Structures are given as structure tokens and as C-alpha cells.
DNA sequence: CGTATTTGACCAGCGC
DNA sequence: GCGCTGGTCAAATACG
């Protein structure tokens, strides 16, 4: 597979949301993975976050199903999948080897159910909402 | 006891 | 064809 940086060239767009704590640079990329013979097109959406926490709770329940170390990256990449039945949304989280605070998160697929989690901090929910909104906008533009 | 995580095995694609 | 690399499976394990 290609490197993530090659697939999704990081244009350091400084359109950072004027958020409180964390700023997310949204690098929208939808790539049609037409592997051989034009299979189903899937949307892949990548953004990167500057935060200490690599596990961003976006309201969904993610079950980890793998972890691999990739070349040119000293940190392993972890693979998650939505634990809701019938919802095969995938997500992978990867750290940058350069600055440890940089986290690249990739979503793939669309949830077919509503968010089931609540009770987290308000800020978290708000942040998640913002992320999901932009994600939605990008995916269904 | 049910559900999530860990972790090595396994597999598929690609380059040589 | 072989080996490397990345993605997934699944059995064992942890944990509430």
C-alpha cells in the first residue's frame, strides 16, 4: 500500500477552527478506491489532530481489531471498527513520528445508525458534533 | 458471563 | 515465485 502521506498530501491549511483547546485541520480527501475493475467506491476521510490523546471519542463505540507498525513510522497504527451490528465503518489511527502530538485519524464508511453514547463531557460532545457535521458535509456534498 | 482488547498468524497485493 | 508490507482474523486474555 501507498503511504498515507502520498495518498493524502497534507496541505497544511491553516483554516483551523477557532476552537478552544484543540484545533483540527480537516484534510478532506475522498478517494475512489477503484481497485481493479472499478469496485465499489468508498469514501475515505482523513483529518489530523494535534492532541495528546490519540483516541478521540466521537460518540461511537469502536472495537479494536488490529495494530500494525508501518514503515517510516515508529508508532504503530491501530485499526478500529464500529461495534454496532451491521455497521462496518472502519477507522484507523496513526501517530506522526515527527511530532508525537500529531495524530492522523482516518474514517472509512458511513454509519447507518445513530450515536448511542452520551454522558461524556460537554466539550467532548460538542467537539464530536463539529467533527461529525463536517464529516457529513464532506461525505454527502 | 458478556464484551472488548491484545497479539501473532494469516492473507492479499505489489515490486523485483 | 518470493518476500516485504499493510490489513484482517481469531484465539486467548483481560475486565466490568
Give pLDDT tens digits along chain A (141 positions): 222 333 333 333 322 332 323 334 444 444 433 333 344 445 667 776 766 655 666 678 889 999 998 888 888 899 999 888 777 788 888 887 666 667 888 888 777 777 665 544 444 545 555 555 555 555 444
Question: In the Cβ-directed half-sphere of A14, how many Cα atoms lie within 13 Å?
Answer: 0
- Which residue has the least CA–C1' distance to nucleotide B5? A64
| pLDDT score at A80 | 92
| pLDDT score at A66 | 92
List residues, Cβ < 7 Å, touching strand B: A 35-36, 61-68, 83
A63 beta carbon to strand C: under 7 Å: no
**Diameter of chain A measured on Cα atoms:** 46
| Whether the predicted model's global pTM rises above the 0.85 cut | no
A68 beta carbon to strand C: under 7 Å: yes
CA A69, A95, A107, A4 dihedral sign is negative
| pLDDT score at A74 | 82
**Whole-number distance in Å between A60 CA and B2 C1':** 19
Give the position of cell 469514501: A43
| pLDDT score at A85 | 75
E strands, A7-136, in order = 24-27, 44-50, 62-69, 76-82, 90-95, 102-108
- Which residue has the least CA–C1' distance to nucleotide B4? A63
Amino acid at each position: 500500500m501507498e503511504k498515507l502521506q502520498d495518498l493524502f498530501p497534507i496541505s497544511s491549511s491553516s483554516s483551523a477552527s477557532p476552537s478552544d483547546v484543540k484545533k483540527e485541520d480537516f484534510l478532506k480527501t475522498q478517494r475512489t478506491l477503484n481497485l481493479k475493475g472499478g469496485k465499489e467506491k468508498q469514501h475515505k476521510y482523513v483529518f489530523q489532530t494535534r492532541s495528546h490523546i490519540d483516541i478521540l471519542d466521537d460518540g461511537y463505540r469502536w472495537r479494536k481489531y488490529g495494530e500494525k507498525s508501518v514503515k517510516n513510522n515508529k508508532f504503530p497504527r491501530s485499526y478500529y471498527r464500529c461495534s454496532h451490528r451491521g455497521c462496518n465503518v472502519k477507522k484507523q489511527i496513526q501517530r506522526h513520528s515527527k511530532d508525537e502530538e500529531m495524530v492522523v485519524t482516518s474514517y472509512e464508511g458511513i454509519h447507518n445508525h445513530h450515536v448511542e453514547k452520551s454522558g461524556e463531557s460537554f466539550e467532548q460532545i460538542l467537539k464530536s458534533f463539529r467533527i461529525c457535521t463536517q464529516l457529513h458535509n464532506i461525505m454527502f456534498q
